[in-house]
Structure 1
Amino acid sequence: MTRMVFPGWLVFAGTELVNTTRAAAGARASGILVRDPCPALAASLADPPYSDPVTDQAPWLDTAIPASTGFYGLVGVKIDGAGTARTTRSWTELLGDGGVPGAVRRASPEIAVTVLALAADEEALSFGLGWLAAELHSGGEGGTVCVYAAAPTPRTDRCTGIPAVGWNPYAAGDALVRHLYEAVAIEGPQPAGAVARCADGVMQTWTWTMRAGVTGWWHAPKLVARNDTLLGPSDPLVWRDILPGFDPWGSYPDGTGWRDRCPRPVHVLDEDPYRAASLPAPVRTVPPTDAGNPNDPANWPQPGGHRYTAARSLLALDPGIVSDRLDLVPVISLGTGALSLRRLLIRWYDNPRDLSLRGDVVDPCLALEEVSIPWLPRGSELLLDGRIRRAAVSCPGGDELRPRRYGPLGRPAGWPEFSCGTPLIVEVSVDAASVAEDAWVEIHFAARQEAI
């Protein structure tokens, strides 16, 4: 049997489009009996038991259009394409024997959704089709699709068939939810058959096709570390210290003193073994500066004038909390609190030996990835979302801005991705004079799988 994602629930751009349990409950009043494949669906969504569109305040209900009360909803039939990995690789044949594989490329995911629409009459059915079309095209440049990888059903004992004690439908739903990002409808919705009458109601099959700009199906992010304050004493899960004279772009503390800038590794081909003198080392390219931004690290005075007292936190992360096999990306949230935050610097390190946290366990020269942000306004919240590779700052007035991000030595910042379960350490440092007592940071991991 072909593996299919659970088709009974689908949300797009924050609006529930498909809910088999809701549709079945509403249609029951018209004598349309639909088998519910997931009785625990409402509980998994933290909804009370469904009865009818008016009582449940269904998402399509429109007080200006009486026919909306006669539309019962959509029963999920199937979702094609979710179980197909979209990874592709080109292949080049050699002039001689054999061939050479090209680079791996993840194509944009595409799904085809088939539903059964239920209504009291054809007028309500027509309203439902118009509502669905409007919702599918309301996502603008792209919205998020949410589905369940499988029906959230209670676990039962294999011998007795009795549900397991302590089963939580809401937690089961969280574990099963999968996200598809920057999705748009590229075809439909459109009827796939004639209107059929059953008892005192009508039904019709509809279909539509969607494609997403972000590759893969994403699990819900899972919290792996939180620092409730960027100042204060250390604890087993968070190391905090103060570094006077900190220079993120020059010398670094190594536990015994200050060390020069990370040396550039010498490639074996930079020296000629047949000559006594070594070839000159390549000249490092100086990144361009942003002359209009005084917080650009490349504009800070040299030498030594750009040092400051840094408040640093080290947080131990265990990716295995989420997955040891799937690709993981971080989702970082940070609140500035009552003060404007300056010189935010975040670095990632491998910690394969699972070392205990202390100030000298990290070597900035071995950082896996690094991002710095010169300034964040007070009362704001920063989100660095590795799933959609987007950085945004939510300001107190409701505005959303894009922060200026830098990588190592002022180069463009990247987006870290981890493909194994090796323990990690994340270093968060800021200008100590700009840290509010209510500043905080949370680090989540999101896992991606190619098919569900």
Structure 2
Amino acid sequence: MLADYLELAGNEVVNSARAAVYAGARGVPLQCDPCPGIADAIGDLPYVDPVTDGAPWYDPAVPESLGVLGVLGLGVAGFDSSPVTREPVQLVGEGAALGPLRRQHREIAYTVLLITADDCALSYGLEWLSLALQGSACGSCAGDEMCVFSCCPVEGDTELRHLYDVGILDGPQVTETKYLSTGAVLATVTFTLAAGKPWIYHDPLPSLTDWVPLGVGDVVGPVDPDQVYQQCVTAEPCAADPLCPSPPLPPSPPAPKSPCYPEGLGTFRRSLISVSPLSQSAWLETVPVLEVRAGAQDMRRLIVRFWVNPQGNPCADVADPCNVCTDINISYLPAGSHLTIDGRVRRSVVECQQIPVGTATSTPIVYGPQGSTFTWPTFSCPTGLCIEVWSDAAWTAGDATARVLLVPRADVG
């Protein structure tokens, strides 16, 4: 992973390209050649000086901030090792049960060079760096989003990678200070971040970035959208002796189910979203991010269903009930609300505009197929997908929209 750029909670912390320009303008020699394509990749104009560019540390109320010349990345560790662990449980006899795989948090250690014009600027630069690494002022214990590049970007931002629930683990420590004849100061600083979600995410697949209008989808019904689950025929075990049946198992406690899950026939608006197997990576698994804008009226009986489609057939022709992967069920969305069910951080939120006080957020209860317990889906191979979005036709506004992003992720980068 490239050490030359780090953004945390939307704030640039490390940018070697910016630091090289500012240091060079002050006659500060550097012993490295940072990646030149960073400015273009993040949408910046060519760097000139902290005031013209509005450098992240520049503060007109603090004169010392003019003397900060940037943060140059020297090295980073923690991306090239997988967080996957397994703890075998020793059996009474020989061998062991391997146990399940689990992913622990990821620790990312940076070594950077804080370049300043003098000691006063160094003091301010350390203050700013410490605060910037604390993340969002409005954040929570969950942490923030972190953005880095997997390599030096050449064209666009396809090399951009994202980590989530990231926060400071060990604050900045100055390990070496070097004073130059020009009066400039080079301070070597180390700090460590922790990512609560250990995966390294790519940008979403480019084929699924558009919003789909729900209010003009096909009208289907009367139909029971859950009927598909009664149509799939599964293979029966063949080892049981029909003349000597096994004793019945004790009854299991009933699984939790939505108390207000709507069942039975209904008339629906149905929209289809197709994902070609050719657009999916052969190795990287993907997770979905669902967004729904309810529009001008309340929305009810929202079902988002994922079907496997390995042949890439038209989604209108994909009807094998045994190819259904899972459902996302939401019973109700208020008018004007924005629903996000994010598989990257495994959190759901509904945002509602409250006039005149701003935006109110709440956590919806998400259910799975037929109102059962919801589990976060992942798609581990390029099967291709057909995604159906169902909503009660009488409760679907004409301006309601939805989109489903598929985001590739990896354990190392």
Q: What TM-score does the superposition give when structure 2 sets the normalisation length?
A: 0.89
CA-based RMSD of the aligned residues comes to: 2.7
Corresponding position: 1:410 with 2:371: yes
Alignment match, 1:423: 384
Corresponding position: 1:112 with 2:95: no
CA distance in 1, matches of 2:378, 2:232: 25
Residues 384-404 of structure 1: per-residue CA shift (max 9 Å, x gap): 211111111222232222222
Corresponding position: 1:28 with 2:24: yes
Corresponding position: 1:241 with 2:218: yes
Distance change in 2, residues 1:417/1:289 (3 Å): closer
Give 1:19's aligned amino acid.
N
Deviation at 1:282, TM superposition (A): 8.6
Q: Which segment is superposed worse, 217-226 or 108-117?
A: 217-226
Query: Alignment partner for residue 274 of structure 2, among 316, 319, 335?
Result: 316
CA distance in 2, matches of 1:61, 1:424: 47
Query: Alignment partner for residue 8 of structure 2, among 8, 12, 16?
Result: 12
CA distance in 1, matches of 2:237, 2:328: 30
Report SS of the residue matched to 1:215.
strand
Corresponding position: 1:85 with 2:82: yes
Query: Alignment partner for residue 136 of structure 1, among 121, 126, 133?
Result: 133
Identity of aligned residues (%): 36
Q: What TM-score does the superposition give when structure 1 sets the normalisation length?
A: 0.82
Corresponding position: 1:441 with 2:410: no
Deviation at 1:111, TM superposition (A): 0.8
Report SS of the residue matched to 2:12.
strand
Cα pair 2:293 2:336 within 8 Å, conserved: yes
Deviation at 1:16, TM superposition (A): 0.2
Distance change in 2, residues 1:198/1:409 (3 Å): farther
Give 2:41's aligned amino acid.
S
CA distance in 2, matches of 1:133, 1:223: 36
Cα pair 2:70 2:116 within 8 Å, conserved: yes
Cα pair 1:315 1:427 within 8 Å, conserved: yes
Q: Which runs of 4+ in 1 moved over 6 A?
A: 277-284
Query: Alignment partner for residue 274 of structure 1, among 229, 237, 243?
Result: 243
Report matched runs for 1:189-228 at 5 Å.
Answer: 189-225=172-208, 226=210, 228=212
Give 1:377's aligned amino acid.
P
CA distance in 2, matches of 1:117, 1:341: 52
Cα pair 2:164 2:195 within 8 Å, conserved: yes
Give 1:9's aligned amino acid.
Y
Distance change in 2, residues 1:9/1:289 (3 Å): closer
Q: Which segment is superposed worse, 429-438 or 310-319?
A: 310-319
CA distance in 1, matches of 2:299, 2:237: 43
Report matched runs for 1:31-50 at 5 Å.
Answer: 31-34=27-30, 35-50=32-47
Report SS of the residue matched to 2:397.
coil
Give 2:9's aligned amino acid.
A
Cα pair 2:233 2:322 within 8 Å, conserved: no
Give 1:25's aligned amino acid.
V
Distance change in 2, residues 1:228/1:19 (3 Å): same
Deviation at 1:261, TM superposition (A): 3.6
Alignment match, 1:158: none
CA distance in 2, matches of 1:280, 1:93: 31
Alignment match, 1:159: none
Q: What is the aligned length? A: 403
**Structure 1 gaps, min length 5:** 154-168, 233-239, 253-259
Report matched runs for 1:247-266 at 5 Å.
Answer: 247-249=224-226, 251=227, 261-262=230-231
CA distance in 2, matches of 1:335, 1:17: 34
Distance change in 2, residues 1:10/1:92 (3 Å): same
Deviation at 1:197, TM superposition (A): 2.5
Cα pair 1:17 1:132 within 8 Å, conserved: yes
**Structure 2 gaps, min length 5:** none
